[in-house]
Amino acid sequence: MFLFDSFMGSNFTFVTLNVRGLRDFVKRRAVFSYLEGVGFDFCFLQEVHLRDGGDVSRFKREWDKGESVWGIGGVHSSGVGILCGHREVKVEDSFVVMQGRVIGVDVTIRDCKFRLVVVYGPQVVADRREMVDCLTPLCVTNRKLVIGGDFNTDLGIGGDSSAGAITRLMACHGLVDGGLHTTPKMAGPTWRNSRGVERRLDYIFVPRSLGKLSGRLLPVFFSDHDGVLLQVGSPVCLFGRGYWKLDRDVLEEQAFVDRFYDFFWRLEGLRSMCEGVLEWWELVKVRIRAFIIGYCKRKKREERREVDRIQRLIELEYEAGNLGGSFDWERSATLKAQLRELQERKARAFLERAHSGFLEHNETCSAMFFKSVRARQSRKVMHGIREENGSIVREPEDMVRVTNDHFQGLFKEREIDVEQGNVFLEHLSRRLPEDIREVMEAQISLEEVESALRRMGKGKVPGMDGLPAEFYLKFWGILGPVVLEVLKAILETGVPGGSMAVGVLSLLYKKGEVTDLGNWRPLTMLCVDYKLLAKVLADRLRRALPYVVHEDQTCGVEGRSIRWNLQLIRDSIAWVEDRGLPLMVAALDQAKTFDRVNRSFLFRVLGRLGFGEKFIGWIRTLYVGAGCRVSVNSHLGDVFDLSSGVRQGCPLSALLFVLYMEPLGAAIRADTGVEGLLIPGSGGLRVKMTQYADDTSLLLCKDSCLTRSLAIFGDFTRASGAVLNHAKSSVKFFSRWRGRTDVPGGLSLCEGALRILGVHFETSGSATLNWNMRIAVVQRKLAMWKARYLSFMGKVLVLKVDVLPSLLYLAYIYPLPACLRRPLVRLVFQFMWSGRCEWVARARMICPIGEGGRGVPHFPLKLDTIFVSFLLTELAHPVIHPSGYLLRVFFSYQARSVMVWSNTGPRAEQLPWHFGHAAKWLRAHPEVEVARVGLDHRHLYEEARKAGSPVPVVGISEVVWEGVQARGLDNRLKDLNWLSLHRCLPVRYIMYRYSLVQSPTCPRSSRGREETVRHVFWDCAFAGVVWSRARVLLGLVRGDFVLTWARLERGVGRARGTDRDKFLLWLLMSLFKRGLWEARQNMVKTGRDWGVEGIVRRVEGDLRGRMKREERKWGQHAARERWKGGLGLGVI
pLDDT of residue 963: 92
Residue 799 scores a pLDDT above 90: yes
Q: How far is CA 284 from CA 122, 242, 278, 529, in A?
A: 55, 21, 10, 13
Amino acid (1-letter code) at residue 1105? G
Rounded mean pLDDT of 369-380? Answer: 58
In a shared domain, residues 786 and 812: yes
As a whole number, the mean pLDDT across the chain is 88
Residue 369 scores a pLDDT above 70: no
In a shared domain, residues 447 and 481: yes
C-beta separation of 235 from 396 below 8 A = no
Q: Distance (Å, rounded) from C-alpha 678 to C-alpha 569?
A: 13
In a domain, 396, yes or no: no
CATH of the domain at 199: 3.60.10.10
pLDDT of residue 96: 84
pLDDT of residue 76: 47
Of 761, 789, 815, which marks where a domain is finished?
A: 761
Q: How confident is the model at residue 130 (pLDDT cuts 50, 70, 90)?
A: confident
In a shared domain, residues 788 and 912: yes
Burial of 171 (0-12, 13-18, 19+ CB in 10 A): middle
Q: Are strands 112-120 and 144-150 parallel, antiparallel or unpaired?
A: parallel
CB atoms within 10 A of CB 1061: 16
Q: How confident is the model at residue 896 (pLDDT cuts 50, 70, 90)?
A: confident
Q: Distance (Å, rounded) from C-alpha 361 to C-alpha 524?
A: 34
pLDDT of residue 1068: 96
CB atoms within 10 A of CB 611: 23
Q: Are strands 635-636 and 748-749 parallel, antiparallel or unpaired?
A: unpaired
Write the secondary structure of 310-344 as one string of H (helix), E (strand) and C (coil): HHHHHHHHHHHHHCCCCCCHHHHHHHHHHHHHHHH
Q: Distance (Å, rounded) from C-alpha 821 to C-alpha 860?
A: 6
User: Which residues have C-beta within 8 Å of that of residue 954, sequence separation ≥ 6?
Assistant: none
Q: How confident is the model at residue 236 (pLDDT cuts 50, 70, 90)?
A: very low
Residue 94 scores a pLDDT above 90: no
In a domain, 119, yes or no: yes
Q: How confident is the model at residue 240 (pLDDT cuts 50, 70, 90)?
A: confident
Residue 2 scores a pLDDT above 50: no
Residue 819 scores a pLDDT above 90: yes
State the DSSP code for 912: P
In a shared domain, residues 779 and 757: no
Rounded mean pLDDT of 841-864? Answer: 95
In a domain, 76, yes or no: yes
CB atoms within 10 A of CB 477: 8
In a domain, 97, yes or no: yes
Q: Distance (Å, rounded) from C-alpha 385 to C-alpha 405?
A: 12
pLDDT of residue 647: 85
| Domain enclosing residue 621, as ranges | 407-545+553-582+595-761
In a shared domain, residues 870 and 988: no
Most confident of 92-106, 233-247, 713-727: 713-727
Nearest to 28 by CA among 12, 49, 3, 51: 49
Q: Distance (Å, rounded) from C-alpha 787 to C-alpha 1007?
A: 40
pLDDT of residue 739: 86
pLDDT of residue 372: 56
Of 168, 197, 232, which marks where a domain is finished?
A: 232
Tell me the per-residue pLDDT of 489-545, one tens digit each, with 9 for 90 and over.
999 998 887 888 899 998 888 888 888 888 888 889 999 999 999 999 999 999 999
pLDDT of residue 514: 85
In a shared domain, residues 462 and 605: yes
Tell me the per-residue pLDDT of 978-1034, one tens digit each, with 9 for 90 and over.
999 999 999 999 999 888 889 999 988 767 789 999 999 999 999 999 999 999 999
From 46-50, 957-961, 1106-1110, the region with the lowest mean pLDDT: 1106-1110
pLDDT of residue 54: 85
Amino acid (1-letter code) at residue 262? D
Phi, psi for residue 108 in degrees, rounded to 5 = -130, 135
In a shared domain, residues 301 and 181: no
In a domain, 1131, yes or no: no
pLDDT of residue 77: 55
From 263-267, 394-398, 747-751, the region with the lowest mean pLDDT: 394-398
In a domain, 1061, yes or no: yes
pLDDT of residue 322: 65
Q: Are strands 689-692 and 686-687 parallel, antiparallel or unpaired?
A: unpaired
State the DSSP code for 926: T
Residue 7 scores a pLDDT above 70: no
Burial of 34 (0-12, 13-18, 19+ CB in 10 A): middle
Q: Distance (Å, rounded) from C-alpha 527 to C-alpha 281?
A: 13
Tell me the per-residue pLDDT of 134-170, one tens digit each, with 9 for 90 and over.
888 888 887 889 999 999 999 886 677 788 889 888 8
In a shared domain, residues 714 and 693: yes
Q: How confident is the model at residue 246 (pLDDT cuts 50, 70, 90)?
A: very high
In a shared domain, residues 335 and 415: no
Tell me the per-residue pLDDT of 332-344, one tens digit each, with 9 for 90 and over.
777 777 777 777 6
Residue 359 scores a pLDDT above 60: no
In a domain, 237, yes or no: no
In a shared domain, residues 937 and 973: no
Degrees to nearest 5, angle at CA 63 with 57 and 67: 80
Q: How confident is the model at residue 377 (pLDDT cuts 50, 70, 90)?
A: low
pLDDT of residue 110: 76
Q: Among the residues of 418-509, which ranges form H helices?
A: 418-426, 434-440, 446-454, 469-474, 476-493
Residue 10 scores a pLDDT above 80: no
Higher-pLDDT residue of 419 and 8 is: 419
436: region left, alpha or beta (phi > 0 left; psi from -120 to 50 alpha): alpha
Count of residues in the chain:
1132
Tell me the per-residue pLDDT of 55-82, one tens digit each, with 9 for 90 and over.
889 999 999 999 999 988 764 457 899 9
Residue 784 scores a pLDDT above 70: yes
C-beta separation of 941 from 947 below 8 A = no
State the DSSP code for 799: I
In a shared domain, residues 717 and 823: no
Nearest to 399 by CA among 595, 642, 235, 237: 237
In a domain, 587, yes or no: no
Our count of domains for the chain comes to 5
Tell me the per-residue pLDDT of 464-486, one tens digit each, with 9 for 90 and over.
999 999 999 999 999 999 999 99
Kindly report the pTM of this predicted structure: 0.83
Rounded mean pLDDT of 293-312? Answer: 86
The end-to-end CA distance of the chain, in Å, is 36
Q: Are strands 198-199 and 385-386 parallel, antiparallel or unpaired?
A: unpaired
Of 948, 977, 1002, which marks where a domain is finished?
A: 948
Q: How confident is the model at residue 52 (pLDDT cuts 50, 70, 90)?
A: confident
C-beta separation of 277 from 231 below 8 A = no
Q: How confident is the model at residue 180 (pLDDT cuts 50, 70, 90)?
A: confident
Higher-pLDDT residue of 548 and 625 is: 548
In a shared domain, residues 608 and 745: yes
What percentage of the chain has pLDDT greater than the value 70?
93
Residue 900 scores a pLDDT above 80: no
pLDDT of residue 339: 74
Write the secondary structure of 999-1061 as one string of H (helix), E (strand) and C (coil): CCECCCCCCCCECCHHHHHHHCHHHHHHHHHHHHHHHHHCCCCCCCHHHHHHCCCCCCCCHHH
